[in-house]
Structure 1
Amino acid sequence: MYQIMTAEEAVGLVRDGDVIGINSFLALANPFALHTALAERFRKTGHPGKLTYFASAGFGGWAETKLGDQPVVAGAVTKVVTSHLKSMPGVMRLTKENAIECYCMPLGVLSHMTRAAAAGHPFYISKVGLNIFVDPRIDGPGLNERSREELVKLVEIGGEEYLSYRVPKLNAAFIRGTTVDGSGNISFENEPVTVDALSMAQAVRANGGKVIVQVERVSNTYTRPRNVIIPGALVDAVVVCEDVPEEYRAVPILSGDIHVHPRHMDYWLGKLRGYAKGRDAEDCSADIIGLRAAQELRRGDIINIGIGIPEKVGTYASRMGMLPDITLTVEAGGFGGLPAPGGHFGATVGSDMVCDMATQFDFYDGGGLDACFMGAAEVDRMGNVNSHCLGELYSGIGGFANITGATKKIVFCCTFTAKGLKTAEQDGRIGILHEGRIPKFKKQISGISFSAKNALQNGQKVLYVTERCVFELTPDGLKLKEVYDGIDEKTQIRGLLDFELQ
């Protein structure tokens, strides 16, 4: 039977060496009070220590003093398994310093591993990850010298190659919901996502661990059974935090309290904290890319849009009046509406449905998407893409590998160069006002997040849209497909590459 207790009492249920499942999507649905209490308890007592944080979608708040970075920086957490690191500067720093173990795997794989843990499976078998960095023949999931555990193996089944991922034994779960009723049932009405809360609670309960849930309120009113995300029978401790900091407070257009009509998207997006409306006054590269990429949309498409420059595709789809005729999805579970930008990424504005994350990745892995629009840090001559690392800086793979693994059309949206690039557009002509210092298309890249070999074998159509040209993937590598008006092909494209271009 569950008990209501303070955050300090709840984290006292965690034992030294526990593997803690964190049910969050970056800052969304993140149990902030539990992270803080765990860090404070460790600083005072030295326990619990030698912990592992297992978090499919990351647990950071973009500062070492926020959310899940706190117990890692304090020293309580010495091992992290996740897909996304960019929001966790403390984890990134300590990984670079070789002070903790850190493993990065595709988001959908980790989500499915959570569900496999609930079923008691020791391994999760998938083709996702073959021929990219997580494949042990290339780099493997360990991000530093300290991270030597063999979590991924290459196996052959029926004459085909797969990767076998070792499923974790979860001893505790940190989950954030909205309401607990008299029976301990947890609902998520104020949260924009549920992530994989039920599977995580099931896995921990089956393993004899402790399920700890942070909520905003206690209610004597019982909701409809279908609205319950975690049944009370699976819950050990409930921590009530009525005073939610503004940055973690529910946003009605993200939780679904306000259903946004496609015609009202610009108005409501303008109300989101951190949302920048309109063009950059000094550079319009992202707008040029977003507008050109949006031309690849077809009415009736079901698509996914990544974070960063690809967000502009959703913006222009809205302005072109196409939103009613396409369906946008987010890997966190949103179907319909428009993906929320920036720090709200993972939520959806005006969604029709939000499912568990593992269910969304079932659809992605099965090839349900018609198109996806993704960012790229680097692209090599053969069309391979790096999106997860630059040198020793690991931002993580996120849902990138699953999303690009089986989608029919893949459109990478990135600038041709970085660091200092300034472009302008007038009457359809593009001008390069200042060239970037760092090339993004090069013979050798730092890591492989997307395998061109896999895409060609799967018959996928792949485009690379920049602010000056468009490339397409062929069996011989990149081929120049379009050069925009105002761009000199010889000096502003071919002359900046360290390889020969078709």
Structure 2
Amino acid sequence: MSKVISPADAASLIPDNAVVSVSSSSGLGCPDLMLKAIGERFEASGHPRDLTTLHPIAAGDMSGIKGIDHIARAGLLKRIIGGSYPSGPSTSEPPLIWQMIGANEIAAYNVPSGILFDMHREAAAKRPGVLTKVGLETFVDPDRQGCAMNELAAAAPLVEKVEFDGETWLYFKAIAPQVAIIRATTADEEGNLTYEHEGAYLGGLDQALAARNNGGIVIAQVKRVTKSGSLKPHDVRVPGMLVDYVIVDPEQKQTTQTQYDPAISGEIFRPLSSFRVPEFNVQKVIARRVAQELETGSAVNLGFGISANVPRILIEEGLHGSVTWVIEQGAVGGIPLLDFAFGCASNADAFMPSPYQFTYFQGGGFDASLLSFLEIGADGSVNVSKLSFRPHVTAGAGGFVDITARARKIVFSGMFNAGAKLSVADGRLTIDKEGKLKKLVAEVEHVTFSGPRAVLQGQDITYVTERCVMRLTPNGVMVTEIAPGMDLERDVLDQADFPLLVSENLKTMDGALFAEPPMGLRLPVKPRRTLPGRRP
């Protein structure tokens, strides 16, 4: 018997007070039609009411895929626990979910994406919860915000600090969903799911296991349905025994503003010449300097922002393939994409399910991470997750806390000041008008990354801006390089709200960074990994 039903019928299966887990990453893999059907049912009948929804990565993108905003209605949502949230430009009206969070209409939490996947896994195995050091001394820590995004959430803590086996841990209780809503490309009549047009597997399998093992139901949104027995077993990522109902949306987008691109799903490989090389500007200067921190043979995580252009710097320098890129949605290798397609990669070597990618990150198995910053504090801490004057522009932390918790090397990149007008030419940087908003502040508004903990763990931390390079030391943040054309006192030290240390061996940044032609980048080779006590 076919498991295919209408979206309206599927929405009618969700009871009041249910915990609903949704698999998505912004527009990538978003079961948008199913979320729309739930919102429409509530508008017509007032049900389901008082839902708790779990979102390891944001659902929706505010650019044609509404996602969570379909169900962001008073009375429908009671509590939301998200790794990240849809964001919008500062000139637009905030997404509905942000309006509800800001008005304290629902209890809202920002839990690191990897921990949220871990909570699903623990719920599926009937274990009590997650013990982790990920998030210690950040906003995740109950000594700070404890993941709470507003007063309602703060009144109902989600995480506690505990002692176990002589060490301090964060403890998150497992949350068992009654409903899991996941997405794939194809379902057969038995509910077996394949992902051939998807840009990532995300965490659908883990979310389905959590619901099924706790007596719940699994609803899968797909693009098409095929005959039972016609799918190859190696292609099935979620078996039909875990799927109760299937809804069909032939128009589901592959990702944000992308109906379907076979290069995103790995069905074809794009020529390197088809990837846009960044135009020459200040942001490219920063990305080039970040690239100088890499080693050939490394596995490197990549975040949103300026650092997302580093793979294209390597293409321009003839070094594509020197580094294996790994992103939290699951792509391994290839070329991570930009803008609305961020989270996807073309020409990937493999796709890992997101929960396993986060296990890799949390354990520090990779070599380096390239990330952005909104603020840098005097103790080296970084904020990327909250700015009070632009709350809906930031999307929460996503996997940032999981990635940085044990990363051996992190390179943060961004503009030194916000709003500065700059020009670059002939191997020099010029400040035409200084920015009014300082980003190096005495204390960051939200601790997404803890500088003191990084020092304690011996992590290698670098901050790259257009006018200088800084490194985190046990004594504070130290300027180690300065851009040609910059005055150390006027353009760097006086523009920080805290005293910066200056290296005794202060260097001038390579002038080739500030000139338009390729800079002739050469990367050192990463030493081959060996077991302790063994010779390479």
Structure 1 unaligned residues grouped into runs of 5+: 271-276
Q: For 1:75 and 1:142, how far apart are their aligned partners in 2?
A: 20
Residue of structure 2 equivalent to 1:273: none
Query: Which of residues 165, 172, 175 is equivalent to 2:172?
Result: 165
Letter in 2 for 1:402: D
Q: For 1:149 and 1:195, how far apart are their aligned partners in 2?
A: 29
Residue of structure 1 equivalent to 2:57: 57
Q: Is 1:333 matched up with 2:339? A: no
Q: For 2:273 and 2:448, how far apart are their aligned partners in 1?
A: 33
Residue of structure 1 equivalent to 2:523: none
Letter in 1 for 2:252: V
Residue of structure 2 equivalent to 1:365: 362
Residue of structure 1 equivalent to 2:506: none
Residue of structure 2 equivalent to 1:401: 401
Superposition CA RMSD, Å? 1.7
- In the TM superposition, what is the alpha-carbon distance from 1:99 to its structure 2 partner? 1.2
* Residue-by-residue CA offset, 1:291-338 (whole Å, 9 max, x unaligned): 111111110010011001111212212212222121001011111011
- In the TM superposition, what is the alpha-carbon distance from 1:64 to its structure 2 partner? 9.6
- In the TM superposition, what is the alpha-carbon distance from 1:15 to its structure 2 partner? 0.3
Query: Which of residues 97, 116, 119 is equivalent to 1:91?
Result: 97
Corresponding pairs, count: 488
* Residue-by-residue CA offset, 1:192-233 (whole Å, 9 max, x unaligned): 111111111111111111110011111126222121111111
* Mean CA deviation greater in 391-400 or 431-440: 391-400
Residue of structure 2 equivalent to 1:489: 488
Q: For 2:278 and 2:436, how far apart are their aligned partners in 1?
A: 26
- In the TM superposition, what is the alpha-carbon distance from 1:63 to its structure 2 partner? 5.7
Residue of structure 2 equivalent to 1:114: 120
Q: For 2:251 and 2:353, how far apart are their aligned partners in 1?
A: 27
Residue of structure 1 equivalent to 2:20: 20
Residue of structure 2 equivalent to 1:179: 186
Cα contact 1:43–1:74 (8 A) shared by 2: no
Residue of structure 2 equivalent to 1:240: 248
Q: For 1:194 and 1:368, how far apart are their aligned partners in 2?
A: 21
Output aligned runs, 1:97-246, within 5 Å: 97-147=103-153, 148-220=155-227, 222-244=230-252
- In the TM superposition, what is the alpha-carbon distance from 1:112 to its structure 2 partner? 1.6
- In the TM superposition, what is the alpha-carbon distance from 1:74 to its structure 2 partner? 6.1
* Residue-by-residue CA offset, 1:354-408 (whole Å, 9 max, x unaligned): 0111111111112111111100010011100011001262531111111111121
Q: For 1:445 and 1:391, how far apart are their aligned partners in 2?
A: 12
The structure-2 alpha-carbon separation of the partners of 1:438 and 1:11, relative to structure 1 and needing over 3 Å to count, comes to same
Residue of structure 1 equivalent to 2:31: 31
Letter in 2 for 1:215: V
- In the TM superposition, what is the alpha-carbon distance from 1:168 to its structure 2 partner? 0.9
- In the TM superposition, what is the alpha-carbon distance from 1:104 to its structure 2 partner? 0.4
Q: For 2:387 and 2:368, how far apart are their aligned partners in 1?
A: 26
Give the TM-score, by structure 1 length.
Answer: 0.94
For residue 108 of structure 2, give the secondary structure of its aligned residue in structure 1. Answer: strand
Letter in 2 for 1:455: A
Letter in 2 for 1:293: V
* Residue-by-residue CA offset, 1:231-278 (whole Å, 9 max, x unaligned): 111111100112335835232111111123xxx3351x45xxxxxx64
- In the TM superposition, what is the alpha-carbon distance from 1:60 to its structure 2 partner? 2.1
Letter in 2 for 1:452: G
Letter in 2 for 1:371: A
For residue 117 of structure 1, give the secondary structure of its aligned residue in structure 2. Answer: helix
Letter in 2 for 1:252: P
- In the TM superposition, what is the alpha-carbon distance from 1:185 to its structure 2 partner? 0.6
For residue 424 of structure 1, give the secondary structure of its aligned residue in structure 2. Answer: strand
Letter in 2 for 1:472: R
- In the TM superposition, what is the alpha-carbon distance from 1:189 to its structure 2 partner? 0.8
Q: For 1:161 and 1:384, how far apart are their aligned partners in 2?
A: 21
Output aligned runs, 1:283-298, within 5 Å: 284-298=281-295
For residue 21 of structure 1, give the secondary structure of its aligned residue in structure 2. Answer: strand
* Residue-by-residue CA offset, 1:140-195 (whole Å, 9 max, x unaligned): 11111111222101011222111001211101011111111132211111111111
Cα contact 1:72–1:78 (8 A) shared by 2: no
Q: Is 1:382 matched up with 2:379? A: yes
Cα contact 2:278–2:309 (8 A) shared by 1: no
The structure-2 alpha-carbon separation of the partners of 1:175 and 1:459, relative to structure 1 and needing over 3 Å to count, comes to same
- In the TM superposition, what is the alpha-carbon distance from 1:285 to its structure 2 partner? 2.4
* Mean CA deviation greater in 462-471 or 91-100: 91-100
Query: Which of residues 234, 251, 257 is equivalent to 2:261?
Result: 251
* Mean CA deviation greater in 142-151 or 67-76: 67-76
Q: For 2:78 and 2:176, how far apart are their aligned partners in 1?
A: 16
* Residue-by-residue CA offset, 1:25-77 (whole Å, 9 max, x unaligned): 11100001001111111000000111111010111222698122111136422
For residue 10 of structure 1, give the secondary structure of its aligned residue in structure 2. Answer: helix
Output aligned runs, 1:405-484, within 5 Å: 405-418=405-418, 420-484=419-483
Letter in 1 for 2:239: P
Give the TM-score, by structure 2 length.
Answer: 0.88
For residue 151 of structure 2, give the secondary structure of its aligned residue in structure 1. Answer: coil
Q: For 2:258 and 2:70, how far apart are their aligned partners in 1?
A: 16
Q: For 2:19 and 2:189, how far apart are their aligned partners in 1?
A: 29
Q: For 2:417 and 2:430, how far apart are their aligned partners in 1?
A: 14
Q: For 1:430 and 1:86, how far apart are their aligned partners in 2?
A: 35
